Amino acid sequence: MLKVWGRVNSVNVKKVLWMLDEIGIPYDRVNAGLEHGVVNDPPYRAMNPNGRVPTIEDGDFVLWESNSILRYLAMKHGSALYPAEPAARASADRWMDWQLSTLSPAERNLFWGLVRTPPEKRDMAAVMAAAKAAGECWSMLDAHIARHGGPFIDGAAMTIADIVLGCYARRWFGPEVQVEGMPNFPALAAWYAAVGERPGFARWVAVPMT
């Protein structure tokens, strides 16, 4: 049976768990990362030299990098969430690459600074800078969704990019991370409401952030 390594409060593990709900296959999950340890144990490092979560084992095949895992699961199980048509597929890939290269580095200190740092230790200048940088990123997706008409990132059909960005949007819209001056993004908010209706989002992403 498919095995998923990773703690449920990791944004990158949440992507995989939501995806598995979408395709509906059985799997086992093993807690790993932060307080669970495991990621520095030699057997885990042999699977994933980065010492990060998630990692999956599908028979003899081991895979890490959450966005690659979503692509793999969609291809293996014939999910329409990774479109076959080249332009549609490339657009989904583009937003997933953008999450890794641009969004994540920009928004990291907003989430870590407020959710994973006690109030007395917070660097609020870094939090505010991250809120500004994250807002600049989310404004790009807001404009893209407004242009394409929603309800999903590229229009009528949901893709794995909606799962990836939906997990990160929880770190923008969540009550845990609100600071003064965060802009409103109407198209992004409507999209967030649409992805919020997916059972996999409700189960793995909507829960309180820790």
Ligand X SMILES: N[C@@H](CCC(=O)N[C@@H](CS)C(=O)NCC(=O)O)C(=O)O
Which residues of this protein are in contact with ligand X, per CB under 6 A? 10-12, 33-34, 39, 52-54, 65-67, 100
Half-sphere exposure for 42 (CA within 13 Å, toward CB):
0
Residue closer to ligand X, measured from CB, 57 or 65 = 65
Shortest distance in whole angstroms from residue 200 CB to ligand X: 17
Residue closer to ligand X, measured from CB, 56 or 81 = 56
Nearest to 168 by CA among 93, 71, 96, 116: 96
Residue closer to ligand X, measured from CB, 115 or 146 = 115
Distances (CA, A) of 161 to 74, 114, 169: 12, 26, 12
Residue closer to ligand X, measured from CB, 34 or 190 = 34
Shortest distance in whole angstroms from residue 12 CB to ligand X: 4
In sequence order, the 6+-apart residues with CB closer than 8 A to the CB of 42 are none
Q: Quick one: tokens of 19?
A: 């995806």
* DSSP alpha helix (H) spans, the chain: 11-23, 42-47, 66-76, 86-98, 104-115, 124-148, 160-173, 186-195, 199-204
Q: Check if the beta carbon of residue 153 is closer than 8 Å to that of residue 165.
A: yes
Q: Which amino acid is at 171?
A: R
Q: Quick one: tokens of 44?
A: 């885990």
Shortest distance in whole angstroms from residue 183 CB to ligand X: 25
Shortest distance in whole angstroms from residue 99 CB to ligand X: 8
Residue closer to ligand X, measured from CB, 10 or 91 = 10
| Shortest-Cβ-distance residue relative to ligand X | 33
Residue closer to ligand X, measured from CB, 49 or 181 = 49
> What phi and psi values does residue 50 have, to the nearest 5 degrees?
-75, -20
